[in-house]
Amino acid sequence: MQRLFSAVIVLLCSTAVMAGGQTPGERVAKAMVGEHRSEANIARNMYRHPVETLEFFGLEDGMTVMEIWPGGGWYTEILAPAIRDHGKLVIATWDPAVEGQSEYRYTLPEKMKETFAKYPEVYDQVETVYYSPPESASLGDADSIDMVLTFRNTHGWANAGMAQDVFNEFARVLKPGGVLGVVQHRAAPGTSLEDALKGGYVPEEDVKAFAANAGLVFEESSEINANPKDTKDHPKGVWTLPPTLRLKDVDREKYLAIGESDRMTMRFRKPR
């Protein structure tokens, strides 16, 4: 049923076909319901709006796109087939050579390798770089990336006190005119960064400050991934909500009814 529903969404979201092939938006719409994706991941399309989000960021053919810390690869599953043969996708994941990281930072990249091997027709063109600052702190050559994408990572960098260094590195590797796209759990207006981070949220103004301090220009924000049902005062922070549901069966239906977190979606650009 979910695949049928998503297939209808694909038809509704598709834009006009360009001469010689599909648009990036059409390929994203197809990829988000691909057979390589689990039913659970497809079910999250309704909260994460990949077609609208990537169109807002300005995904175009011919781009070199870098996704930072893809975690379990939810967005990688969409980006890889959508960009395949039409650009280049680079994922920057945790460096297994860096000791002392959380266990998942070793296991998730290994699981991703297994997924890539299982679906070569999807992932055979994806390039992987390792990024675990401060020990492994380079994302590659300066002025080499057209678009950097980060989905729900900024709170982790801010908690570790390295958000500014990370945004500085984004600015270094982006080409002049390149785009930084940020999706992040959004704190309530007036919340301090310190208080917001306790629940996994970040104030919009702090994200803008990290980018501005790195020399990136704020262009536009979107309410694509907003969720007004998210009160942002949950017992286990943002992880109380799906997909984590850290309270397990306690008030499960309540948090499922809220859905995933309220998220800012912002586009920044490196000056030419």
Task: Report how many domains make up the chain.
Answer: 1
pLDDT digits (tens, 9 = 90+) for 60-79: 999 999 999 999 999 999 99
Domain with 147, as residue range(s), is 58-269
What is the C-alpha to C-alpha distance for residues 220 and 11, in angstroms, rounded to an integer? 27
Provide the Cα torsion 177, 180, 186, 191; round to 10°: -60
Give the pLDDT mean for 125-144. Answer: 97
Answer yes or no: is 199 within a domain: yes
Verdict on whether the full-model pTM lies above 0.85: yes
User: Is residue 80 included in any domain, yes or no?
Assistant: yes
Average the pLDDT over each of 98-102, 182-186, 190-194, 195-199 and give the range with the smallest value.
Answer: 98-102
Q: Is residue 6 part of a domain?
A: no
- Residue 171 near residue 228, CB atoms below 8 Å: no
Q: Is residue 10 part of a domain?
A: no
Q: For the segment 1-29, what is each residue's pLDDT rounded down to a tens digit?
A: 445 545 445 444 443 343 358 999 999 99
- Helix or strand run (H / E) with residue 106: helix 104-118
Would you state the torsion angle of the CA atoms of residues 16, 21, 22, 28, taken in this order, to the nearest 10 degrees? -170
Instruction: Let me know if residue 53 belongs to a domain.
Output: no
In a domain, 228, yes or no: yes
95 in a structural domain: yes
Q: 2 lies in a domain? A: no
CATH number for 181: 3.40.50.150
